[in-house]
Structure 1
């Protein structure tokens, strides 16, 4: 083989190694600056987020007469928290800034949320006044509502599915924070209803990305990509 052909084959192999799939659109892209063979962690992060959100939202709407959300603690630490945070860390070497920031942020959110309800943390015990506790939780939820809105700004012109996901999640945070401030169960239940819709959208996107990554008998479900 001539040296020219050898260089050509080498470059071809290098290109194949750096080729990956855009986790937002599943279109082939080349991460020349951050070559990586790491699989798309998006489905793992999305399923973990969706499952934890669905469970907590079912509790918020008092499904089956459940009013105490403490069972979500383990789910929030390990699924919504740890798995999502790890998904965010795996997105960094893939060059996906949005995925890395969103997954790691929401992973931290779920772990911090779970910590509130762990008795050993002393957080709940530090608020003898129930209204003061409600106000503190309300501010906590408002903060994450603002973060979610900022994430929405980065995808609103790119993907219908992700715009819907973050749009419904923003409304969910707004309703839950309002319910916490006012102590109105009906507002919290409305937030739970929007949270259920948010979880179902996250499931849809997770299935779509997993079908795009694997050879399956089912066609990939569209995400409504608007622009690159």
Structure 2
């Protein structure tokens, strides 16, 4: 006999957001320790930019598409390709594939990413406070880096580095909270969910 009642199918796809947030956050922290002046730009940052900040976020974004999450798809794939493009801007001139970007070009690059992040920030207003902080602090980071390049003022870039460390750590916190809260089945690390009205 064929059952007449619908059968609920559980979504068997894991939540990719913690992966995307941790990939973004850890890579952001490491780059901004450099921006804060603690070490030179090196292959450790480039490797993180390609493989964790870049590829892992793109993978997270593709999985978000499978989960029908447009915000997650847009954010994770975009920032994954941001990291890949940033590494490209550094490496391609060294390989003879074009010239190094000018300060003006970098201001435009950082500025447009800041504008994009500011637009996505409004999407976080329906999500949670932790994501609101990540996107607000990332908008500020892009603005500071653009201003630092526009003015040539190294102290602004150094300050941006410290602000970027905070931004990256907030993304790591949000990602780890997603893991821990799911593992324990309760709120272990609060993210400040937005109350529905």
TM-score (norm 1): 0.79
Query: Cα 1:167–1:49, aligned 2, differ >3 Å: closer, same or farther?
Result: same
Alpha-carbon deviation of 1:113? 0.3
Structure 2 regions of 5+ residues with no counterpart? Answer: none
What are the within-5 Å matches in structure 2 for residues 124-143 of structure 1? 126-127=99-100, 133-143=102-112
Residue matched to 1:79: 52
Query: Cα 1:7–1:211, aligned 2, differ >3 Å: closer, same or farther?
Result: farther
In structure 2, what is the Cα distance between the partners aligned to 1:43 and 1:226? 18
- What is the root-mean-square deviation in Å for CA atoms of aligned residues? 1.9
Greater relative CO (CA pairs within 8 A, separation 6+): 2
Which of 117, 133, 152 matches 1:148?
Answer: 117
SS at match of 1:138: helix
Are 2:58 and 1:90 equivalent residues in the alignment?
Answer: no
Which of 25, 32, 50 matches 1:50?
Answer: 25
Assess if the C-alpha contact under 8 Å between 1:70 and 1:117 holds in 2.
no
In structure 2, what is the Cα distance between the partners aligned to 1:100 and 1:79? 16
Query: Alignment length, in residue pairs?
Result: 194
Query: Cα 1:100–1:209, aligned 2, differ >3 Å: closer, same or farther?
Result: same
What are the within-5 Å matches in structure 2 for residues 1-228 of structure 1? 6-8=3-5, 11=6, 14-15=7-8, 17-18=9-10, 36-63=11-38, 66-69=39-42, 71-118=44-91, 119-120=94-95, 122-123=97-98, 126-127=99-100, 133-215=102-184, 219-228=187-196
Query: Cα 1:140–1:81, aligned 2, differ >3 Å: closer, same or farther?
Result: same
Max Rg structure = 1
Alpha-carbon deviation of 1:69? 5.0
Stretch of structure 1 that moved more, 37-46 or 70-79? 70-79
Structure 1 regions of 5+ residues with no counterpart? Answer: 19-35
TM-score (norm 2): 0.91
In structure 2, what is the Cα distance between the partners aligned to 1:121 and 1:93? 39
In structure 1, what is the Cα distance between the partners aligned to 2:152 and 2:42? 16
In structure 2, what is the Cα distance between the partners aligned to 1:168 and 1:121? 35
Query: Cα 1:165–1:121, aligned 2, differ >3 Å: closer, same or farther?
Result: farther
Assess if the C-alpha contact under 8 Å between 1:56 and 1:69 holds in 2.
no
